[in-house]
Structure 1
Amino acid sequence: MYHIQQQSLFSFDELMKMSAESKYSVVLEELPMSRILLAINKRSPLGRPERLNVRAMIYALFIGKMEHIRFTKDLIYRLRKDVEFRACCRFTDSEPIPSEASFSRLITKLERTNILAEIQDFIVDQAITEGFLSGETLALDSSHIEAFERNPNLDKPKAEKAESSTVEWEASALLIEESCRSLENIKPLKPKRAKRGRVPKAEQEAWRQQMEAYEASLSLFEREIANMLPASYDELIADLPQWASVGAKGDHRGKRHTKFWYGYKVNLLVDTASQYIVTSVNCSGHVSDQRPAIVLLKRLKERFPSLQVKHILADKGYDGEPVYKQIRDVGAFGLIPLIHRCELPAGMDKHFRPQCQQGHSYRYDSYDAKRDTIKWTLPKECASCPFQGQGCQKVVKKKMAENVRKYTAPGRGSAKFAELFKQRTAVERVFAYLKLYFEMGSSRKRKKRALVDLDLSCLVYNVCKLGLDRLNQNIRAAKKQAV
């Protein structure tokens, strides 16, 4: 381990500003290289022998991320011209510099073996074991990534463009380019009736059979979100759309300000205290935020059952009942702002807290885990209320199972809810680090290679976090010994 002489703890920004050799020594020591080499090395003694330094090539990919090198050709040029950089990547002077095709074959092996995801889980396990990651409060969010390839929709004739521009913006956000998908994955057409109105009794059976056949032909990500809950993680990840497509991000100012992009979405589940990426998944740009959230939560429950998660924070885009149900299945409470899609019921405020006869909202008191109930008490204003004791209950309790979306702990509208929700900015900070230091703003690879590039950015970030935490731990231990 590279030791720093100063007796002050380092932040993530300070780590990235360190000298090249110091920074790489801290980071690359945390990389389990033997696991990666075991997964991608040739297993048969037959065929052409491997003459390239694969270990140094992997180091070069990691260091290239930290040095803001986007293209493989630029990485090769730097290895050939910069002797110090070549030494940092662990290349010797007698070894040949790999070609662009060699790096391409290496990236293909990383994609086929899925070793980056395994190493990501290994790093998270190390952080949990050493006490750096508690997992008590997690934050969930997504970010758009523009694809390097050209949008096929831009090559259409002008007549087709003009016709497609009249379609509603929600439909344009769901455009799926057939050139990026195989023919067998094209979404089937929904049955349509020639006449509008109620289906006649004579045609009801035939129409029902057509709709059932249509529903059966859809994949899990084309059905209702609630239908994803019984499926396993492996089933969901097999059907997850992972090709470049047109995505849309709404704006409170109206449809004219809606942002469109062609590419992917990176979805992260981040520990708010340590800012480690617990798990991540990449999907097409058109997929709504709630669908990959189900995938992330199922992965969390399956891969890290030891984490005692209490709260999961997310923005309004995740306000859907299936997401709340999946969060409760993990054993946590979802702290997500509500989207009011209809008028509020009588006797409740916008946070679904009960109100007294004068219209004052009850105060959140506590959560009873044994009975799974949330408790409210009379508001302060009721101390001098003329209706006191004439109809207003002192205590109101509700079963959480009645509506997992309305009721959560701590209760909506309470100071505890607001204080906890402030921690959601941790996931936005992680996205800022990924885009600022690890070139995640836009991928410079195509199709499956773009997904490897995104996973590599997340892995390099977690490795840097683990190296930084271990470095600060050694500094603290040195301080204690000095005292």
Structure 2
Amino acid sequence: MERDEATLYIRQQCLISFEDALKMQPETRLEKIFSTLDLYPIISRLPRKHNGPRGYNAKYKLRALIAAKIEQIPTMAALVRRLKNDPVFRYICGFGVIASVPSEATMSRFLRELTETGILKELFKSLVNKAEQMGIIDCTSIAIDSTKIEAYEKTKPRKYVSQNGKSADWGVKRNTDGNTEAWFGYKVHAAVDTKSELPVAITVTPANVHNSEIALKLVKKASSVLVKSPKFYLMDSAYDCNDIYETIKNDFHAQAIIALNLRGTRQPRAGFDFDGTPVCSAGFRMVYWGSDNGVNKFRCPHVLDKAECPFGTDWCSSSNYGMVIKTKIEDDSRLFCSPHRGTKNWQKLYDERTSVERYFGRQKKHLGLESITVQGTKKVETHAYLCAIALIATVTAVNTAEREQKAA
């Protein structure tokens, strides 16, 4: 029986999911979110007292922007109309029931200031910390991936695109059917906790930036935000490069679980199969027999009845235990990992990578991640942060209410 000494996390669901929160009445949902969302420390860091021409409170405007994501209000004009026409919504956001509301221009200026100051990143970080303290975010395994976002601006031929990293560009990727598709726009990159399926780090780039260029930036961001250090970082084959494996191992003391990209690989390393499994002198794959302190152990397949070797065991070893080969992760952090690539425990971890895909699915279906009406990488990133903040705030607030109800 195969053994593995690596400790794996057993998945547990948080008390209440985002989908459960969507079943609530909109007014109740927003009230719960805003009652637990402390915006004052963030608003107080704005460079100046932010009042519009009629003295609109910045806290209320930020509430309205978050509510717009939760209520799937697609544009600033639609948000202003909702504030004008829905007194309950207006009151929950903080504005008076019969008071005036900020104009579209006022809200746009406020959004621009949020982009320039970057304070939404601080709000995002505080919400991640709160979710981690509550045990909603577990941090054991972090999944990393990106999703495409089509630009709001008109497409341009590639030769006219500014290569400054601040605007939309052309990107190419393979879809789930294996077909190549191109789009003009951006990529939203995210690192997601696999237990809660909540983001712990996000960034936005033009569509032409390769995923592997952003992976370590996300790992660094996640590491700086989380109190607990993740043990595993899970990624698909687009991230298969030596630098990612080595940096995660040496600098972050974690294990990269990444599918191998075998395109262009002509033959495996001498004495090994493509996945890092040693091959015996008779040509049989050896049997993985556990990992200890970064050392993987493999045993003779003939002794373990996994292969019928014509030479028997005496050819390789005089011991009844059979020949043993050990590999050290430090010798080749891409080829060797713990748990060993291809084992049930490795596959179990890698399967958790789909949590980041579900995160992007919720963002697009319920929070309007694809419905951008802004241009430029920084503004799109502000949009992505608002969507992420809305998701974490919703899950955290409803879990808080659920726990208080059980404690009562």
Displacement after TM superposition at 1:455 (Å): 1.3
Q: What SS class does the counterpart of residue 352 from structure 2 fall into?
A: helix
Displacement after TM superposition at 1:129 (Å): 2.1
Q: What residue is the counterpart of 2:26 in the other structure?
A: 20
Q: Are 1:242 and 1:282, in contact at CA under 8 Å, matched by a contact in 2?
A: no
Number of equivalent positions:
384
User: More helix by proportion, 1 or 2?
Assistant: 1
Q: Are 2:139 and 2:230, in contact at CA under 8 Å, matched by a contact in 1?
A: yes
Q: What residue is the counterpart of 2:384 in the other structure?
A: 454
Q: What residue is the counterpart of 1:152 in the other structure?
A: 156
The AA in structure 2 aligned to 1:67 is E
1:258 and 2:180 matched: yes
Q: Are 1:363 and 1:414, in contact at CA under 8 Å, matched by a contact in 2?
A: no
The AA in structure 1 aligned to 2:80 is I
Q: What residue is the counterpart of 2:285 in the other structure?
A: 361
Displacement after TM superposition at 1:398 (Å): 1.4
Q: Could you report, residue by residue, the CA deviation over 1:182-231 in whole angstroms, capped at 9, with x for unpaired residues? A: xxx5xxxxxxxxxxxxxxxxxxxxxxxxxxxxxxxxxxxxxxxxxxxxxx
Q: What residue is the counterpart of 2:172 in the other structure?
A: 248
C-alpha separation between the residues in 2 aligned to 1:468 and 1:421? 29
1:280 and 2:209 matched: no
Q: Are 1:147 and 1:442, in contact at CA under 8 Å, matched by a contact in 2?
A: no
Q: Could you report, residue by residue, the CA deviation over 1:260-288 in whole angstroms, capped at 9, with x for unpaired residues? A: 11111111111111222111111111000
The AA in structure 1 aligned to 2:194 is T
Query: Among 235, 242, 256, which residue is 1:334 paired with?
Result: 256
Q: What SS class does the counterpart of residue 407 from structure 1 fall into?
A: coil
1:30 and 2:14 matched: no
C-alpha separation between the residues in 2 aligned to 1:176 and 1:250? 24
C-alpha separation between the residues in 2 aligned to 1:251 and 1:383? 39
Q: Are 2:21 and 2:395, in contact at CA under 8 Å, matched by a contact in 1?
A: no
Instruction: Return 5+ residue gaps in structure 1 as ranges.
Output: 1-7, 154-171, 186-240, 479-483
Q: What SS class does the counterpart of residue 133 from structure 1 fall into?
A: coil
The AA in structure 2 aligned to 1:316 is S
CA 1:358/1:466 → structure 2, altered by over 3 Å: closer, same or farther? same
Displacement after TM superposition at 1:50 (Å): 6.0
CA 1:278/1:48 → structure 2, altered by over 3 Å: closer, same or farther? closer
CA 1:16/1:429 → structure 2, altered by over 3 Å: closer, same or farther? same
Q: What SS class does the counterpart of residue 269 from structure 1 fall into?
A: strand
C-alpha separation between the residues in 2 aligned to 1:449 and 1:420? 34
Q: Are 1:362 and 1:376, in contact at CA under 8 Å, matched by a contact in 2?
A: yes
Q: What residue is the counterpart of 1:177 in the other structure?
A: 161
Q: What SS class does the counterpart of residue 18 from structure 1 fall into?
A: coil
Is the radius of gyration larger for structure 1 or structure 2?
A: 1
1:418 and 2:347 matched: yes
Instruction: Return 5+ residue gaps in structure 2 as ranges.
Output: 1-13
Q: What residue is the counterpart of 1:104 in the other structure?
A: 108
Q: Could you report, residue by residue, the CA deviation over 1:318-345 in whole angstroms, capped at 9, with x for unpaired residues? A: 1111111222121111111111222123
Q: What residue is the counterpart of 1:142 in the other structure?
A: 146
C-alpha separation between the residues in 2 aligned to 1:302 and 1:68? 31
Q: Are 2:74 and 2:371, in contact at CA under 8 Å, matched by a contact in 1?
A: no
Q: What residue is the counterpart of 1:211 in the other structure?
A: none
1:350-429 → structure 2 map (5 Å cutoff):
350-369=274-293, 372-379=294-301, 380-381=304-305, 385=309, 386-391=311-316, 394-429=323-358
Q: What residue is the counterpart of 2:75 in the other structure?
A: 71
1:464-479 → structure 2 map (5 Å cutoff):
464-478=394-408
CA 1:246/1:92 → structure 2, altered by over 3 Å: closer, same or farther? same
Q: What SS class does the counterpart of residue 339 from structure 1 fall into?
A: coil
TM-score, structure 1 length as denominator? 0.74
CA 1:21/1:399 → structure 2, altered by over 3 Å: closer, same or farther? same
Displacement after TM superposition at 1:96 (Å): 1.7
Q: Could you report, residue by residue, the CA deviation over 1:115-150 in whole angstroms, capped at 9, with x for unpaired residues? A: 110111111111222222221111111001111011
C-alpha separation between the residues in 2 aligned to 1:416 and 1:338? 16
Q: Are 2:148 and 2:188, in contact at CA under 8 Å, matched by a contact in 1?
A: yes
TM-score, structure 2 length as denominator? 0.87
Displacement after TM superposition at 1:9 (Å): 5.4
The AA in structure 2 aligned to 1:327 is I
C-alpha separation between the residues in 2 aligned to 1:251 and 1:457? 24
Query: Among 86, 111, 133, which residue is 1:129 paired with?
Result: 133
Identity of aligned residues (%): 28
CA 1:12/1:320 → structure 2, altered by over 3 Å: closer, same or farther? same
Q: What SS class does the counterpart of residue 139 from structure 1 fall into?
A: strand
CA 1:242/1:474 → structure 2, altered by over 3 Å: closer, same or farther? farther
Displacement after TM superposition at 1:375 (Å): 1.9
Q: Are 1:443 and 1:454, in contact at CA under 8 Å, matched by a contact in 2?
A: no
